[in-house]
Amino acid sequence: MAFFHRLLGQDTLDDHQHKSLGAFGTVALWLGANVVVTTILTGMLLVPDLPFTTAMGSVLIGSLIGAIPLLLVGLMGQRTGLPSMALTRRAYGPLGSRLISLVNMGVLIAWSWIQALLAGMSLDYAIQATTGYSNLPLMTILCETVVVLIVLRGHLGIERVERWAAMAMVALAAVVLYQLNLHYDVSTLLDMPVEARNGITLGIAFDIVIATAFSWISSSADYNRNCKSGAIAVWGTYLGYVMAAMIAMGLGAAVSGLSVMNGMEQTYDPTRLLSGFGFGLPAALVIFFSVMTTNVMAVYSATLSCMNVSPGMTFWKPALIIGVVTVFGALIPGILDQFQNFLLLIGALFIPAFSVIIVDYYLVGREGYSPELLKARHQLGRPTAPVAIGAYVIGAYVIGAGLAAYWSLVAPLAFGAGLAAYWSLVAPLAFGASLPVFIITGGLYWLGAMLLTKSRANASQTAGE
């Protein structure tokens, strides 16, 4: 029993964590997190609607800007030692924090279902290519079982696996790009004619890239709280994330362009282009490793979200329960098509939520973010005017979420068909909604908090006179 106990992770919500992540480990963690099918698919959307160089320029600039909120939340985790959902207690209180955690847990579990199926499809292709045996449900269950076993080891197990998986993905991606150039001449992408296929403009491409970075905000502190220093948390994440975006979206854009120029069905999947030349297996392994690394992080963050709802839980219990749920959920028929719109809409609602948290910590005041206050099961409340500040928090969030819904959410859809669909709500902006919603929400909350502070200061001065 003692041996079994040592194998399980002992992760908690408080600040007593191992500072185990060095610079290389942090870079590898975020590299593995973002080299994933969804990011590759995003790159596919950009070409041939945009010139290849323009598409990659938007990926670079959008990733550099979009990763900033990700870095800020991760740095909050490193400084306090607390995961992302525990950090929401200051701004939203105990009830609001639990509600956010429940939504986050549901989104991550559903994402894990999709990732498990994608990993199973890649593994099934690899096994079939080498042995001729095919069994997609079995491969899906095997992939998700491996994910659960890794998560049960806790953050130390994840860091070790992500390090090796990231190196394997980079090596395999280099092999795939080499083979693509050998058979298709990648340099022709530079002169590829522009063709409107997915309704993507430069502004929309920029927004999609930023939204991809924003999708990690609700989990970044879960991992960066284990970084050895604040500098490592910032620069390790920045380098790893931007490198991953360039690799994954560049691969998707290259495969998309080559498939179009060669008269094939537009695709993001390098396996389709290389299978006829005997190199489909390395391409399938890139997809497999990319999905597995991201899935591990999704299940782990879902576990921490569950623990924030009920802080007394031992880590391995929700990890095991969530793992079992993800194993069987991945077998739901049509899971790739049924959950995509729901997940993308809910994910957009986290942009205004964490905009408030970032402004609250960095611009309004850090005194309420001490681990001693936030790690308690029942938040002690704000130092000053909790009701009034709470009203500004909720007001700013509601306005931000409303704008996100009204303006637009632009996203890649239809994983199963490998096609690009364009989904928007009421009145999409030409340049997308992610960055404007983030800035407006944070600005409204900061303005309200400053007005309240000034009003209280004037009232105190008047009372003193």
d(CA 344, CA 322): 21
Q: Range with the lowest mean pLDDT among 66-80, 195-209, 272-286? A: 272-286
pLDDT at 379 over 50: no
pLDDT tens digit string along 295-329? 888 888 999 999 888 877 888 888 888 888 887 77
C-alpha torsion angle, residues 453, 458, 462, 465 (rounded to 10): 100
Which of the two residues, 16 and 119, has the higher pLDDT score? Answer: 119
Q: Does domain 21-338 have CATH number 1.10.4160.10?
A: yes
d(CA 340, CA 428): 19
According to the model, what pLDDT value does residue 456 have? Answer: 54
pLDDT at 99 over 90: no
Average confidence (pLDDT) over 19-35: 86
Give the DSSP letter string of 132-169. Answer: S---HHHHHHHHHHHHHHHHHT-HHHHHHHHHHHHHHH
Q: What is the pTM of this model?
A: 0.83
Element (H, E) at 61: helix 52-80
Burial of 461 (0-12, 13-18, 19+ CB in 10 A): exposed
Average confidence (pLDDT) over 347-354: 77
d(CA 27, CA 261): 35
Asked if 375 contacts 82 with a C-beta cutoff of 8 angstroms, the reply is yes
Closest CA to 160 of 24, 270, 257, 280: 24
Q: For 321-345, b where at least 16 C-beta lie within 10 A, e where not — what string?
A: ebbebbbebbbeeebbeebbeebbb
Give the Å distances, CA to CA, from 203 to 49, 62, 206, 337, 422. Answer: 12, 10, 5, 26, 14
Closest CA to 74 of 358, 294, 373: 358
Of the pLDDT bands very low, low, confident and very high (cuts 50, 70, 90), residue 208 is: confident
- In this structure, what token pair is assigned to residue 404? 């996100």
pLDDT at 240 over 90: yes
**Residue ranges per structural domain of the chain:** 21-338
Asked if 46 contacts 39 with a C-beta cutoff of 8 angstroms, the reply is no
Which amino acid belongs to residue 106? G
Average confidence (pLDDT) over 204-208: 81
Closest CA to 296 of 82, 145, 74, 124: 145
Element (H, E) at 202: helix 202-214
Which of the two residues, 281 and 227, has the higher pLDDT score? Answer: 227
Q: How many other CB atoms are there within 10 angstroms of residue 65's CB atom?
A: 14
